[in-house]
Amino acid sequence: MKANELMIGDWVRIEHYKYEYLNCIGQIAGINEREGSIEPRTFNVIYEKDGKKGLNVGVSKRNVFPVPITKEILEKNGFMDDGASWWYRDFHISLSGTKNLTLICGRTIQFSFVHELQHALRLCGLEELADNFKVE
């Protein structure tokens, strides 16, 4: 995952070797760019830990990783499984393997991670679903 592919509202996984309490899933709330560069340096991430919601932390791009798409995540967001494919309204997602998905909304888009699905949903006019996506 490239740091400059992330948008505010994207779900990511935080892993920090030194501060174990930061190992969690969070949502990008801010992007801090390095002066003179288009590459982000750090991200502000909102996360929930031990029942506490709305915790905000600044993390380096090296501690931010993608969240893989799972069947459970699709179910939490209102996608229906017909045994061969997943559907949300008129939008179709077919599983090819365990991580590769294809979203069809006039175009076929390949993706494997939650933030990529969020981007595809926004492109298809489903901003509300993308912005309120549930992963936990």
Q: Among 3.30.70, 3.40.190, 2.30.30, 2.70.98, what is the CATH number of 3-66?
A: 2.30.30
Q: What percent of the chain has pLDDT over 90?
A: 9
Handedness of CA 128, 131, 117, 76 (dihedral sign): negative
pLDDT top residue among 129 and 59: 129
How many other CB atoms are found less than 10 A from the CB of residue 19?
11
pLDDT of residue 98: 46
pLDDT, tens digit (0-9, with 9 covering 90-100), for 71-104? 899 899 998 888 777 778 777 777 665 445 566 6
Task: Classify strands 11-14 and 64-66 as parallel, antiparallel or unpaired.
Answer: antiparallel
Higher pLDDT, 30 or 100: 30
For residue 101 the two structure tokens come to: 């998905």
User: Domains of the chain: which residue ranges?
Assistant: 3-66, 71-131
Which residue has better confidence, 28 or 36?
28
Name the average pLDDT for the chain: 78
Q: Across residues 39-65, what is the average pLDDT?
A: 76
